[in-house]
Amino acid sequence: MAKKAKKSGPKKKSAVSEKKSKVEKTSAKKSQSSTQKPVKETRKMTKAAQLPVKQEEILITKEGLEAIKVELDNLKNVRRKEVAQRLKEAISYGDLSENAEYEEARNEQAFVEGRILVLDQQIKHAKIISGTKKHVKVIQVGHTVVLRNKANSQKEQYIIVGSTEADPLKGKISNESPVGKSILGKGIGEKVTLAVPEGRASYEILKID
């Protein structure tokens, strides 16, 4: 009499096999996660790069802005044409490798074009500052200030302007300069200590216009 064949059911996985399978799945998940992170970071960086950079306002007087416009007009309509003509003549001399006139013209052209870009940006972001104000209480950009050196009673007058107009030889000091920062926001009668060639000196604010 033939023996009945035992029904073969699904084979049970060994503990080692199950452990190996879990390790492989965990490794796969980690691998997938690691490949996704750089993509997300790249997207964030791309979005950040696309955000517009806010240009700071440039404080300038009405007269200063007009002076910049005059200079820009001269650069675009006079100097640029002059440099172009110089380049044309220099090129006509032949060998450019030993052409001093050509190098000078190229350098001047670079300066002119660079200056044009700077002035264009200054005009684009210019903010007009008013000059004389009634009932002035504290020093602001655009004011004329009279200081008195307490050591020798000598009076000094300054005009507080934006950095684009600063000209110490003409008494125009930038609001970003050490002196400008020291006196901004101060009122008549207040004392300030300023750096001078001899060291530091104490000044009194006499007048604000």
Q: Which of 72-81, 95-104, 170-179 has the lowest mean pLDDT?
A: 95-104
Q: Mean pLDDT, to the nearest integer, of 41-67?
A: 67
Question: What pLDDT digit, counting tens, does each position of 6-19 carry?
Answer: 455 555 555 545 55
**Confidence bin at 39 (pLDDT 50/70/90):** very low
Distance CA 72, CA 8 (A): 95
pLDDT exceeds cutoff 50 at 46: no
Which pLDDT does position 17 carry in this prediction?
Answer: 55
- In the prediction, which pLDDT does 91 show? 87
pLDDT confidence of residue 1: 47
Residues of the chain with CATH 3.10.50.30: 144-208
Which of 175, 171, 178, 176 shows the shortest CA–CA distance to 193?
178
Encoding tokens for residue 145? 């200030």
- The residue that leads in pLDDT, 39 or 137, is 137
Q: Which residue has the higher pLDDT, 114 or 57?
A: 114
On the question of pLDDT at 60 being above 70, the answer is yes
Is the model's pTM score more than 0.95? Answer: no
pLDDT (tens digit, 9 = 90+) per residue, 122-166? 999 998 886 555 566 899 998 999 999 998 999 999 999 998 899
pLDDT mean across residues, the chain? 80
SS3 207: strand
Bigger pLDDT: 194 vs 21: 194
Between the alpha carbon of residue 97 and those of residues 84, 90, 91, 109, 111, the distances in Å are 19, 11, 11, 18, 21
Q: 5-20 in b/e burial notation, b at 16+ Cβ within 10 A?
A: eeeeeeeeeeeeeeee
Residue 134: its pLDDT value, please? 58
The CATH number of domain 58-129, selected from 3.40.50.2300, 1.10.287.180, 1.10.150.170, 1.20.1730.10: 1.10.287.180
Does position 200 have pLDDT exceeding 70, yes or no? yes
Whether 43 has a pLDDT exceeding 60, the answer reads: no
CATH of domain 144-208: 3.10.50.30
Residue ranges of the chain that CATH labels 1.10.287.180: 58-129
Is it the case that residue 45 has pLDDT exceeding 50?
no
Rounded average pLDDT over 88-106? 83
- pLDDT at residue number 51: 47
